[in-house]
Amino acid sequence: MRTLNSLLIMLILLIWYGEGKKTKLKGIRWWTLANIGKPSNDLRSNTQLYNSPSLLPLTKKQRKLVTKHPGTISALQNGARMAIDECKFQFRNRRWNCPTQDVGNGGPIFGKILDKGNRETAFIYAITSAAVTHSVARACAEGSIYSCSCDYNLKQPSGKDWEWGGCSDNAKFGHKFSRKFVDVLEKGRDFRYMMNLHNNEAGRVHVSKEMKKGCKCHGMSGSCAIKTCWMRLPSFRDVGDRLKDRFDGASQVISGNEGSRILGNRPNTGRKKKRYKSFQFAPVNPNHKKPGRRDLVYFDSSPSYCEKDTSIDFPGTYGRECNATSIGIDGCDLLCCGRGYVSKSYMVRERCSCIFRWCCDVKCEVCTRTKVLHTCK
């Protein structure tokens, strides 16, 4: 059975390599938006972006979408940055520490790992898609995207608008926009396409599911006879945490029996609302549960990430700083893959006993300390 499965995977991979080589990384170029203008308060980089949209590393469809919704570009830029920062934060203690390359316009910022279909790839897709959802929703709340859709709350006949029933939550637009913007890249009908779409959606769903409810009573004399509740956007750190949990529990899959997507129009209920395409994935280990909407899926096994691997542009864990006392994955034993580590003590002058004054003033003393640095051999 196992051999059959691996054969199948190899077959799929072969097919995929055959047809998708040319276009496969074109769409994810938008990630390089993160590099345009460092995250600072310098406004010039943003205006530059507006002025020359042709320079954007986007596909035609994406560019159309961005032009249709002015203001989304800085949200996307923000989102790409958020995704990268979050990825680096979540993986700071692991062998694969989400390395990014400072490539010029157009190159894949996460490197060739995207050619693979492993756990890490799944995480990258999910976190970037989630970041777009999050930052677009945030930009809607900030009022920097004028064209955020209203989606009147009640499915009433026409003529009912914002004055009648108010608009929907900002997150809804973020979700929709992310779907249109991110998923547009995944063309074709191969297994990788299905995996990426699934992981994209998983990322978005996590943003919606992590939303917290806030309520306020405003009845007679402020009593709770009338109580209004709303959902508020989670912090992106929380989304990252959840996605990391899902990364740890991600399931290796093969294509399900049908092998193709099932359009989620529930046949009987006749609902108008289209459910998003859901795919049939079968876990490689038949004892495992089928992956749900929020689970990450992958089909390639990850390498050990110990040695330098040119096929994914990963430098290995040589020279990485590690924690000598930890027995976890950040500990020197595991991180250095048993190669051992070098300890070096050094003097450092750093800021200490700081007094912070909101918002942006920190007064510190400078202290000299001796520190020990452990690095992998």
Q: Residue 50 interacts with another protein (CB under 8 A)?
A: no
Q: Residue 158 interacts with another protein (CB under 8 A)?
A: no
Q: Are strands 297-298 and 251-255 parallel, antiparallel or unpaired?
A: parallel
**Least distance from another protein to the Cβ atom of residue 154, Å:** 5
**8 A C-beta contact, residue 156 and residue 229:** no
Report the residue from 218, 289, 308, 369 that binds another protein according to the rule CB under 8 A: 218
Q: Residue 329 interacts with another protein (CB under 8 A)?
A: no
Nearer to another protein by C-beta: 228 or 260? Answer: 228
Span 233-252, contacts to another protein by CB under 8 A: 235, 237-238
x/- string (CB under 8 A) for another protein, residues 175-214? -------------------------------------xxx
Nearer to another protein by C-beta: 8 or 141? Answer: 141
> Applying CB under 8 A, which part among 25-33, 36-44, 116-124, 184-192 lies near another protein?
36-44
**What is the secondary structure of 235-252 as a DSSP string?**
PHHHHHHHHHHHHHT-EE
x/- string (CB under 8 A) for another protein, residues 258-277? -----------xxxxx----
**Least distance from another protein to the Cβ atom of residue 208, Å:** 14
Structure token pair of residue 154: 């009640």
Map residue 222 onto helix, strand or coil: helix
> Applying CB under 8 A, which part among 94-102, 116-124, 146-154, 298-306 lies near another protein?
146-154
Report the residue from 6, 156, 260, 343 that binds another protein according to the rule CB under 8 A: 156
Measure the CA–CA gap between 290 and 79, rounded to whole angstroms: 30
Report the residue from 164, 289, 338, 348 that binds another protein according to the rule CB under 8 A: 164
Nearer to another protein by C-beta: 223 or 343? Answer: 223
* CA dihedral (177, 23, 13, 31) positive or negative: negative
Q: Residue 146 interacts with another protein (CB under 8 A)?
A: yes
Report the residue from 23, 48, 228, 304 that binds another protein according to the rule CB under 8 A: 228
Measure the CA–CA gap between 69 and 1, rounded to whole angstroms: 50
Measure the CA–CA gap between 317 and 306, rounded to whole angstroms: 6
# binding residues, another protein (CB under 8 A): 64
Report the residue from 14, 18, 325, 361 that binds another protein according to the rule CB under 8 A: 361
Measure the CA–CA gap between 26 and 23, rounded to whole angstroms: 5
Measure the CA–CA gap between 212 and 233, rounded to whole angstroms: 7
Burial class of residue 293 (count of CB atoms within 10 Å of its CB; 0-12, 13-18, 19+): middle
CA torsion angle for 331, 332, 334, 339 (degrees, to 10)? 180
Q: Residue 167 interacts with another protein (CB under 8 A)?
A: yes
Map residue 257 onto helix, strand or coil: coil
Q: Residue 162 interacts with another protein (CB under 8 A)?
A: yes
Report the residue from 14, 18, 163, 372 that binds another protein according to the rule CB under 8 A: 163
In whole angstroms, how far apart are CA 332 and each of 319, 325, 373, 376? 11, 8, 11, 7
Half-sphere exposure for 212 (CA within 13 Å, toward CB): 6
- Tell me which residues touch another protein (CB under 8 A): 39-43, 89, 138, 140-150, 153-156, 160, 162-167, 169-170, 212-216, 218, 220-222, 224-230, 232, 235, 237-238, 269-273, 354, 356-362
